[in-house]
Amino acid sequence: MTLDLSADEVLATTRAVRKRLDFDRPVERSLIEECLQLAIQAPTGSNRQSWQFVVVADAERRRQLAEIYRSCFEAFYASGRSVVYPDGDVRAERRPKVQDSAAHLAANFHRAPWIVVPCQEGRRDGVPSAEQAGWWGSIVPAVWSFMLAARNRGLGTVWTTMHLAREREAAEILGIPYDSVAQVAMIPVAYTVGTAFRPASRLPLEAVVRWEQW
């Protein structure tokens, strides 16, 4: 069953959902499979289809992954490396709420009914950006398609990468061959509390679009 949102509605209202994840409501495996089936319809460089998805429901594995995520999250914010925006910037105005919701997710990650870890065959550690671009371009569209499909089924997701600071440990938990397969994200999946989401506050188009040249 889907929400029957239009393509434009799905694109405009697929949010990074943290506080509105319903951790207590089970999610049917069939819905995850439907979203993954749509995900692998995404474009992929040279038709490689080199994506892999590790889908986790086991409570102990979720707990271990969540502990890695939480430790990386706490280390990141303790380091003071988070982005600072100028006063009056729409991103600065939202920052306290974003940080609060991020902390909420870090404390509750283990409660997500499913955790999806998208991976890509091969590694690109230290590879020049010209070679990186096609590799990332062959996995990011698929993961975003998964998240859009989830939105239209009343599910919430958020793309997280904090755990990659300890990627090898996560690989050991999940049996991922670290030397030949790279993790690209860790995504909690749960039903959302309510299904109405609004477009987000964004910088005006003229601040991010340049016609013809920079």
In a domain, 201, yes or no: no
Q: What is the pTM of this model?
A: 0.93
Report yes or no on 204 lying in a domain. no
**For position 213, what pLDDT does the model report?**
97
Q: Sign of dihedral through CA atoms 177, 66, 147, 131?
A: negative
pLDDT, position 31: 98
* Position 211 in a domain: no
Q: What contacts 158, CB < 8 A, 6 or more positions away?
A: 16, 17, 18, 105, 187, 188
Query: Domain of 13: which CATH number?
Result: 3.40.109.10
- The confidence score (pLDDT) of residue 98 equals 81
Q: Would 99 be classed as within a structural domain?
A: yes
Q: Round to whole Å and give the CA distance between 86 and 56.
A: 40
* Domain span holding position 97: 7-195
CB 188 within 8 A of CB 114: yes
Domain assignment of residue 11, yes or no = yes
pLDDT by 10s per residue, the chain, length 214: 899 999 999 999 999 999 999 999 999 999 999 999 999 999 998 999 999 999 999 999 999 999 999 999 999 988 877 676 676 676 766 677 888 999 999 999 999 999 999 999 999 888 899 888 999 999 999 999 999 999 999 999 999 999 999 999 999 999 999 999 999 999 999 999 999 999 998 999 999 999 999 9
Q: Measure CA of the first residue to CA of the last residue in the chain; give whole Å.
A: 45
Are 101 and 19 spatial neighbours (Cβ–Cβ below 8 Å)? yes
Task: Say how many domains are in the chain.
Answer: 1
Domain membership flag for residue 63:
yes
- The span from the CA of 64 to the CA of 60, in Å, is 6
Token pair 């990332």 in the structure block, residue: 136
Tell me whether residue 142 is in a domain.
Answer: yes
Closest by CA position to 14, among listed 198, 204, 214: 198
Q: Is residue 107 part of a domain?
A: yes
Which residue has tokens 């340049």? 210
